[in-house]
């Protein structure tokens, strides 16, 4: 089941009346209409998480012109474990040893917007670095899973759930458009400085390289993920 945005009191109330329980609500923190306030209270009574946000944030998050005072996320509950994540629909990215929160934040936002299943983060970060990454990524972890686990455990969990494991490295023999990304897949990305450890490369089903035409031998990890996500969308929608 994919995630989608519900906007406004009428559409959200109708969804709840029909038995759909949103994963969360984003609600304007000030000057809320009585109808929206009542709906937020109803959601709280149903155990639906309610986040109160600024007008600017609601405007940024709304797909409608002028924004909305209340938004809901329709979709499955956020996966709490690797096995739950790997059983979800959509592509999963495993990020190994990435150093910069800005890179991770970009990846989180891009993958959530594209409808990916989630991200596994294998780093030795401080809590403040994770917080910086999620802030840069528009706190996308509110809407899809961001799990912290070892990449090896993630690959083993993916295998149990029938996912193919693909690494992106300059040593790859295929390009992303030469493999089937439309099937359940987990994509392993390493840092630009150290790449993906050999122990992980030996565990994946395929290693792909993104073609380059210049002197610098690899793309920034943000660009590389964007290329993979774009190819996944192209294959999945064709």
Q: Report pLDDT for 1.
A: 58
Pairwise CA distance, residues 83 & 96, whole Å = 18
Mean pLDDT within 166-189? 96
Strand intervals (E) in 77-214: 92-96, 118-122, 146-148, 164-168, 185-190, 206-208
- pLDDT tens per residue, range 42-68: 999 999 999 999 998 898 888 766 678
Give the number of other CB atoms < 10 A from CB of residue 22.
20
The third-level CATH classification (topology) of the domain covering 82-237 is Alpha/beta knot (3.40.1280)
Q: Which residues pair with 73 in a beta bridge?
A: 5, 24
Closest among 222, 107, 108, 216 to 170, alpha carbons compared: 216
Radius of gyration, CA atoms only, the chain: 19
Task: Give me the residue spans of the domains in the chain.
Answer: 4-74, 82-237
CB 188 within 8 A of CB 151: yes
CATH architecture classification, 4-74 = 2-Layer Sandwich (3.30)
Give the number of other CB atoms < 10 A from CB of residue 198.
8
CB 181 within 8 A of CB 235: yes
Pairwise CA distance, residues 147 & 5, whole Å = 23
Mean of all residue pLDDT scores within the chain: 94
- pLDDT tens per residue, range 225-238: 999 999 999 999 97
Pairwise CA distance, residues 155 & 153, whole Å = 5
- pLDDT tens per residue, range 75-94: 888 899 999 999 999 999 99
Would you say the C-alpha torsion 124, 111, 225, 183 has a positive or negative sign?
Answer: positive
Closest among 183, 230, 233, 237 to 205, alpha carbons compared: 183
Pairwise CA distance, residues 238 & 236, whole Å = 6
Do 4-74 and 82-237 agree at the fold level?
no
- pLDDT tens per residue, range 139-158: 999 999 999 999 999 999 99
Could you give the percent of the chain with pLDDT greater than 90?
86
């Amino acid at each position: 089941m994919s995630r989608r945005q519900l906007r406004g009191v009428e559409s959200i109330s109708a969804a709840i009346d029909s038995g759909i329980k949103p994963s969360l609500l984003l609600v304007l923190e000030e000057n809320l209409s009585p109808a929206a306030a009542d709906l937020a209270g109803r959601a709280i009574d149903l155990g639906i998480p309610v986040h109160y946000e600024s007008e600017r944030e609601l405007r940024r998050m709304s797909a409608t012109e002028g924004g909305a005072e209340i938004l809901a996320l329709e979709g499955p509950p956020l996966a709490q474990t690797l096995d739950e994540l790997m059983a979800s629909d959509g592509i999963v990215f495993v990020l190994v040893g990435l150093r910069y929160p800005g890179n991770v934040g970009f990846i989180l936002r891009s993958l959530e917007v594209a409808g990916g299943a989630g991200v596994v983060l294998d780093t030795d970060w401080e809590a403040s670095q994770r917080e910086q990454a999620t802030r840069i990524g528009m706190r996308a972890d509110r809407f899809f899973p961001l799990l912290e686990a070892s990449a090896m455990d993630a690959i083993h969990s993916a295998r149990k759930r029938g996912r193919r494991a693909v690494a992106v490295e300059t040593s790859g023999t295929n390009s992303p458009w030469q493999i089937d990304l439309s099937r359940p897949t987990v994509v392993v990305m390493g840092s630009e400085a150290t790449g993906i450890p050999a122990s992980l490369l030996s565990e994946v089903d395929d290693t792909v390289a993104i073609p380059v035409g210049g002197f610098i031998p690899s793309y920034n990890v943000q660009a590389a993920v964007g290329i993979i996500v774009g190819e996944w969308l192209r294959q999945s929608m064709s």
